Amino acid sequence: MVLSIVERIKGFLFSPSETFDASRGDTLGDAFKYFIVILAIYAVLVAIIVAVAFSLFAGMFGTFGVPAMPLGVAAGPLVAVAFFVAAVVGGIIGVFISGLWLHIWVYLVGGRNGVEQTIKAVMYGETPSLILGWIPIINLIAGIWALIVGIIGIRQLHGISTGKAVLAVVLAIIIPAVIIGLLIAAFGHSMPGTGFPGPTGLHKGPGFGGFP
């Protein structure tokens, strides 16, 4: 069954198991086209918000007599274009990197249907984040929602248990977090101390009763 973009969005949001089953025969190219469409929607909405916010911010500076920012309010559209390009390019690169990384753990827990199915699960699983993630506060809920949809996608497309799908996703998230934490800790310990030297080693005058 071939689903339209709107049907896929509704399906991955509200009935992901059935929608993943219906999308099992999709090629990676089909999933990528869908991902590009919803990524572009997200990037446009974020770019509009950034342009409006930047223009208002620049206008506030002018109202209070602060020297205008470079290009002033007119810079809003330029900043929006930059955000749009960054969101699209970053999204494309990120979805493939995260898909390849996740597949390592999917394979280790028993997923044997190929890396394409994992990347498809990641692309389709991003639906909540890309459709709702541009809304402040709601984006936190959308992120958790996307994580759940991605787990369901791994389960359905690889034919493994929910527990194994959860384990693969958790490991893919925790391992980099632990490594980054260790690197930050190691970097912090390697930095020279910034405290002021105490009185030790400094010349001191005679203390009480002539004793040092």
The whole-number average pLDDT for the span 132-157 is 96
Question: Is 103 inside a domain boundary?
Answer: yes
Question: Is 111 inside a domain boundary?
Answer: yes
Do 151 and 15 meet the contact criterion of CB atoms below 8 Å apart? Answer: no
Do 52 and 77 meet the contact criterion of CB atoms below 8 Å apart? Answer: no
Residue 46, CB-side half-sphere exposure with 13 Å CA sphere: 22
d(CA 111, CA 161): 10
Question: Is 178 inside a domain boundary?
Answer: yes
Confidence tier at 3 by pLDDT (50, 70, 90): confident
d(CA 85, CA 176): 26
Instruction: Supply the DSSP symbol for 100.
Output: H
Residue 110, CB-side half-sphere exposure with 13 Å CA sphere: 11
Question: Is 195 inside a domain boundary?
Answer: no
How many domains are contained in the chain? 1
Question: Is 197 inside a domain boundary?
Answer: no
**Closest among 17, 13, 12, 14 to 31, alpha carbons compared:** 12
The pLDDT value given to residue 196: 46
Instruction: Give the CA distances from residue 162 to residues 57, 111, 156, 169, in Å, rounded to whole numbers and listed in that order.
Output: 47, 12, 9, 11
Question: Is 209 inside a domain boundary?
Answer: no
d(CA 43, CA 85): 8
**Closest among 164, 167, 169, 89 to 121, alpha carbons compared:** 169
The whole-number average pLDDT for the span 156-176 is 97
Confidence tier at 209 by pLDDT (50, 70, 90): very low
Instruction: Pick the more confident residue, 197 or 113.
Output: 113
Question: Is 207 inside a domain boundary?
Answer: no
Q: Which structural domain, as residue segments, surrounds residue 129?
A: 5-187
Instruction: Pick the more confident residue, 87 or 68.
Output: 87
Element housing 45 (H / E)? helix 28-63
Question: Is 23 inside a domain boundary?
Answer: yes
